[in-house]
Amino acid sequence: MKSEIVVTNPVIECILSRSAAKYYDPATPLSDEQIRELVRIGTSAPTSFHLQNWRFIAVRTPEAKARLSPIAWNQPAIKDAAVTFIVCGQLVETSVIPERLAPLVEAGVMPASMVPEWEVPARNLYMAYPQRRRDEAVRTATFGAAAMIYAARSMGLGSTPMIGFDDEAVHREFGLAGDEVPVLLLSVGAERAGNWAQKPRRPVAEVLDLV
Ligand SMILES: Cc1cc2nc3c(=O)[nH]c(=O)nc-3n(C[C@H](O)[C@H](O)[C@H](O)COP(=O)(O)O)c2cc1C
């Protein structure tokens, strides 16, 4: 007997209807307020130990786009999309945990006594392991970018995550700190006609192991 459960609601619709935009309408800007709102939503994404080890550089003026474009394969999205975020992850530094958790303690979400219970295991998990500190920077930035991608979609905007850039040049040109990794670029803006139809996916049976 075959049973099928089909759940649909606006969130699932938003997720299922997204695709990476190729063509943007260069005549439709986003206000700084809209850009801030996208980042605010992005920062609601989860991070390990609530580290929030990210930073977002919103490249939205013609001058800033002209600086980014040649070090990002001259991808047309950079000039045409309203904004391209340089989504940065920061190498994990667990000494910031008390400061990051202080607002939770103040709000009564977490008891103060629990702060060392997060800081100590986090220190043990990360600080002697450079690869883990960097992996977490990449995870953090990716979760944040994903939230922004779906928020953009829900606002009727297209988005394109992009790895086609020179990471060292972006680091230099946009003054990233030594502990910051430019994880990906994320263009966001109003789309114009001509974007590809959605791409079919590998079958679930091929990618899922039920154990
Ligand atoms: C990490 C990552 C890097 C990507 N880099 C680029 C890029 O540099 N340029 C580009 O046009 N698209 C880029 N893409 C978009 C992918 O090509 C696209 O997501 C993929 O073909 C699946 O299509 P869809 O997003 O429309 O479903 C990237 C996507 C991801 C997740």
84 ligand 1 Cβ < 6 A: no
Q: Give residue 4's pLDDT band: very low, low, confident or very high (50, 70, 90).
A: confident
The gap between the terminal CA atoms of the chain, to the nearest Å, is 21
pLDDT tier at 67, thresholds 50, 70, 90? very high
How many Cα atoms occupy the beta-carbon half-sphere of 128 within 13 Å?
Answer: 4
- Decide if 82 contacts 170 (C-beta within 8 A): no
Each residue's pLDDT tens digit, 44-64: 999 999 999 999 999 999 999
Sheet of 54-59, strand order: 54-59, 83-90, 180-189, 158-162
pLDDT given for residue 24 in this prediction: 98
Q: What is the DSSP secondary-structure string of 124-167?
A: HHHTT-HHHHHHHHHHHHHHHHHHHHHHHHHTT-EEEEE--S-H
Per-residue pLDDT reduced to its tens digit, 82-106: 999 999 999 999 999 999 999 999 9
Which CATH fold would you assign to the domain 24-92+127-191?
NADH Oxidase (3.40.109)
Of all protein residues, the one whose alpha carbon is nearest to atom 7 of ligand 1 is 162
Q: Is any ligand 1 atom within 6 A of the Cβ of residue 138? A: no
**pTM, two decimal places:** 0.96
Mutate to test the pocket of ligand 1, among 15, 75, 160 (most ligand atoms within 8 A of CB): 160
pLDDT digits (tens, 9 = 90+) for 114-156: 999 999 999 999 999 999 999 999 999 999 999 999 999 999 9
Among 163, 165, 181, 195, which is best to mutate for testing ligand 1, by the most ligand atoms less than 8 A from CB?
163
The β-bridge partners of 110 are none
